[in-house]
Amino acid sequence: MSQTYYLPQSNEVELFSAAAQMNLPVLIKGPTGCGKTRFIESMGEQLGRDVYTVVCHDDLSAADLVGRHLISEKGTYWQDGPLTKAVRNGGICYIDEIIEARKDTTVVLHSLADYRRVLPIDRTGEVIEAHPDFMLVVSYNPGYQNVLKGMKPSTKQRFISLSFNYPKPEIEKEVLIKESGVNAQTAQKLVDIASEIRSLDDTDIQEAVSTRLLIYAGKLITKGFDPYQACMHSIVESLSDEEDVLEVLQKLITLHFAKSSDV
């Protein structure tokens, strides 16, 4: 199996490795598409641990994490959820966008995120001691945080924290070349476009362009799509539905890639 490609930006690899050795839970903060999930997958490979990923949403229940009783032809049986599998067998349980989950769901993490490292399962009466290789990792996007959706201090202060941002231009360029196959000149133009969009402060763009979207644009270009069209479909249309914002972004793209005649 090929190694997940990840370029470190700071000391995140060393910090995460130390946390894994000391059984410390980790909280990762950063915008959408900046490489949080890719980093976790890469660290799982480096540490030789399976990664159990849970993407949170408003309806995520504790049972989705821990497990539930199911019914089959042979009767009722218990099925572990991803969190319980990681606790039993060892591995990294990665809970993505934790602030999207209901508050009563995240409470089940408390006993795993402190010195106890146990998971009580009320429905079975079991108390599972975490495997020595179990690691709890959660993430969220601070840009989406508000009064109604935010981590409680009692939860946040159980973790050591890493802050992620979009890669530095030279790193982002290297990632684009590696991941999409575009040449260095095209990669530089895409990085410049991203930098200019991220510096806009008078538009209604809720989230700046991610490295992920740049890779999508690069892949379309490598496939033979006109660069202007690739940027429109992968970047501009994905960032906004507002006509005035789309016009601003479109003009920005044309500064780097000439508008094709068939668009």
Q: What is the pTM of this model?
A: 0.87
pLDDT value for 74: 85
**Residue ranges making up the domain that contains 139:** 12-163
Are residues 72 and 136 both part of a single domain?
Answer: yes
- Calculate Rg over the CA atoms of the chain: 21
Sheet holding 51-55, edge to edge: 51-55, 91-96, 134-140, 26-29, 160-163
Structural tokens at position 207: 């989230």
d(CA 187, CA 190): 5
Final residue of a structural domain among 163, 196, 212: 163
Are residues 182 and 132 both part of a single domain?
Answer: no
CB hemisphere CA count around 46 (13 angstroms): 16
User: pLDDT for 19-44, tens place per residue?
Assistant: 999 999 999 999 888 899 999 999 99
- Region 46-74: what's the mean pLDDT? 93
Are residues 72 and 30 both part of a single domain?
Answer: yes
Are residues 204 and 95 both part of a single domain?
Answer: no
Q: Which helix (H) or strand (E) holds 161?
A: strand 160-163
Lowest mean pLDDT segment, chosen from 9-18, 114-123, 237-246, 253-262: 253-262
Are residues 181 and 76 both part of a single domain?
Answer: no
Residue 55 pairs in a beta bridge with 96
Are residues 203 and 180 both part of a single domain?
Answer: yes
Are residues 207 and 124 both part of a single domain?
Answer: no
User: pLDDT for 122-173, tens place per residue?
Assistant: 989 999 999 999 999 999 988 765 545 667 788 888 999 999 999 999 999 9
pLDDT value for 147: 44
pLDDT value for 263: 44
d(CA 138, CA 101): 11
As for how many domains the chain has, the answer is 2
Q: Across the chain, what does the average pLDDT equal? A: 90
CA dihedral 203, 207, 212, 214 (to 10 degrees): 10
User: pLDDT for 63-81, tens place per residue?
Assistant: 999 999 999 888 999 999 9
For residue 259, being part of any structural domain is answered with no
Are residues 25 and 155 both part of a single domain?
Answer: yes
pLDDT value for 58: 87
